[in-house]
Structure 1
Amino acid sequence: MIPTHQSGSPGNGAPARRVELLTRPDCHLCTDARAVVELVCGDLGMPWRELSTAERADLLDQFAEEIPVLFIDGVQRDFWKIDERRLRSLLTP
């Protein structure tokens, strides 16, 4: 099961952004990235979802050396370390 984290909906009338974090089990960088995405999306009232390579072997093959990987609207935006300031700037108009 892929968890979806719902933090509300953007109240500014802007279209919802699709934020996805690709993680791997027992990955300390993934734990750190998850905390940043949870914080920023929570502050902005944006839903996000986590994709696990345990359930998506095709993604592990494709992104094995870059995990965790952050996608926004289907585009890879960051990997390894997710920076809070950069994520905020990517998600705010």
Structure 2
Amino acid sequence: MTEGVAQAVRRRFRTRDWGETRVSRLTLLTTRDCHLCGAARADLDRVTAATGQAWAEVDVADDPEMAREYGDRLPVVLLDGAEHGYWDVDVPRLVRDLGGAS
């Protein structure tokens, strides 16, 4: 992830943790009219249930640099700012990588 994209992610995150705002290890990059994004949100909610780790969502349409970098691969899951996967969420791998049970 380029530094500009990393800054945009930090600037635009919204955590899905009962309204509590904090930096999350998990970020889901999405955009409007993304047919795979709903499934990715549900998968990340499953990860949260398994690990207690909240996640943030960023719409790349709000940032031209992010839209250029990620627009054809959405949704994208970032773990600690690095790309963990795209198009679908590998729930067992993500839970394992977060240090939880698989």
Kept in 1: contact 2:13–2:27 (CA 8 A): no
The alignment yields a C-alpha RMSD, in angstroms, of 2.0
Partner of 1:4: 15
Aligned length: 85
Question: Structure 1 CA distance, aligned partners of 2:32 and 2:45?
Answer: 17
Where does the alignment leave 5 or more consecutive residues of structure 2 unmatched? 1-11
- Relative to its length, the structure with more helix (as a share) is 2
**What is the letter of the counterpart of residue 62 of structure 1?**
E
| Bigger relative contact order, structure 1 or 2 (CA pairs below 8 A, ≥6 apart) | 1
Where does the alignment leave 5 or more consecutive residues of structure 1 unmatched? 8-15
Partner of 2:94: 87
1:45-64 Cα deviation digits (max 9, x unpaired): 11210011232232111111
Q: Paired residue for 1:76, among 83, 99, 102?
A: 83
Give TM-score, length-normalised by structure 1. Answer: 0.78
**After the TM superposition, which parts of structure 1 deviate over 4 Å for at least 4 consecutive aligned residues?**
none
